[in-house]
Amino acid sequence: MDLYARRRIANGVVMSLSVAATGFGLLWLVLVLWTLIENGIAAITPALFSQMTPPPGSSGGLLNAIFGSVMMTLIATLVGTPTGILAGTYLAEYSRGSRFGETVRFINDILLSAPSIIVGLFIYEVIVVRMGHFSAWAGAMALAIIVIPVVVRTTEDMLNLVPNALREAAAALGSPKWKVIVMVSYRAAIQGMVTGVMLAVARIAGETAPLLFTALNNQFWSTNLNAPMANLPVVIFQFAMSPYADWQVLAWGGALLITVTVLCLNIGARALASWGTFKQ
């Protein structure tokens, strides 16, 4: 009886701790989101979307930074998505069991978690130093390198879920393998692949470290991809670290904007993915 009571108490303690841990984890999500809304909502005004980043002490908005972020994210996605999809296709459709495939898969998983600031250093060495100046192109390429492993991974996973019977049926009709992949495998896996791209976009939308020494920042409106370009994360970094109250308010506004975008993309991607599995 004594032993039984002790085991029950031990179980009660461990299980309560586990409940507490979950509550502790959720607490931070709530706290971070709540402070963001509390501090950021005041900055969400029409001026935020229509005016440029101001010098200290005057009012302004984040239009040039928002434009820069959208632009670089777009280019990075346009470069990274096809690259990732083709590489993922090779891994899923051609390389089953091959040594080369194993190696690529392994390296890709490491790139997936590699520190993003290292990617920034790499692009700095390869593009910024060669070109002689910071540029939006360099920033977009740094982001593209972060997109690639995410898309490779989800494409491969999703293609692996496509039942082989579908491929065999298409092959039995006499279609060559590339047609089987493009017309059958891709169509069956498209939902998951789109999910992967959305997650990749969510990931780069808030990335700061790789942009610090590639795209740098720009106080003014610029559409020149060959010059430094303002972008939300770096502006937030600069403004939040500054002693000026106006800048700090704008930083909170930008932070709220990025977080809402990223969370919406994430939740949207998850909804899309679960809708797919539900259908199956």
Binding mask 15-34 for another protein (x = CB under 8 A): x-xxxxxx-xxx-xx-xx--
Calculate the dihedral angle through the C-alpha atoms of 85, 87, 89, 95, rounding to the nearest 10 degrees: -170
Tell me which of 46, 132, 176, 243 binds another protein, using CB under 8 A: 176
Regarding 101 and contact with another protein (CB under 8 A), the answer is yes
- Report which of 21, 75, 83, 100 is spatially closest to residue 201, judged by C-alpha positions: 75
Among 116, 154, 195, 218, binds another protein (CB under 8 A): 116
Complex with another protein: residue 42 or 126, whichever CB lies closer: 126
Residue choice 41, 267, 275, 277 for contact with another protein (CB under 8 A) = 267
Cβ 191 to another protein, closest distance in Å? 18
**What CA–CA distance (Å, rounded) separates 192 from 172?**
26
Q: By CB under 8 A, name the one of 121, 166, 188, 227 that touches another protein.
A: 121
Given 37, 44, 70, 83, the residue binding another protein (CB under 8 A):
83
Of residues 145 through 164, those in contact with another protein by CB under 8 A are 145, 148-149, 152
185-224 positions binding another protein, by CB under 8 A: 202, 205-209, 212-213, 216
Please report, to the nearest 10 degrees, the dihedral formed by the alpha carbons of residues 53, 54, 58, 62 taken in order: 0
* Site for another protein, residues 41 to 80, rule: CB under 8 A: none
43, 252 contact by CB (below 8 A): yes
Among 52, 266, 268, 276, binds another protein (CB under 8 A): 266
Q: Per CB under 8 A, which region of 51-59, 66-74, 160-168, 175-183 contacts another protein? A: 175-183
Cα separation, 170 vs 87, in Å, equals: 22
Is residue 275 helix, strand or coil? helix
- State in angstroms the smallest separation of the CB of 272 from another protein: 13
Question: Residue 108, interface with another protein (CB under 8 A)?
Answer: yes
Q: Copy the structure tokens of residue 168.
A: 């065999």
Q: Tell me how far apart the alpha carbons of residues 34 and 31 are, in angstroms, rounded to a whole number.
A: 5
Query: By C-alpha distance, which of 216, 96, 71 is closest to 156?
Result: 96
d(CA 276, CA 130): 45
Q: How far is the CB of 3 from another protein (least distance, A)?
A: 11
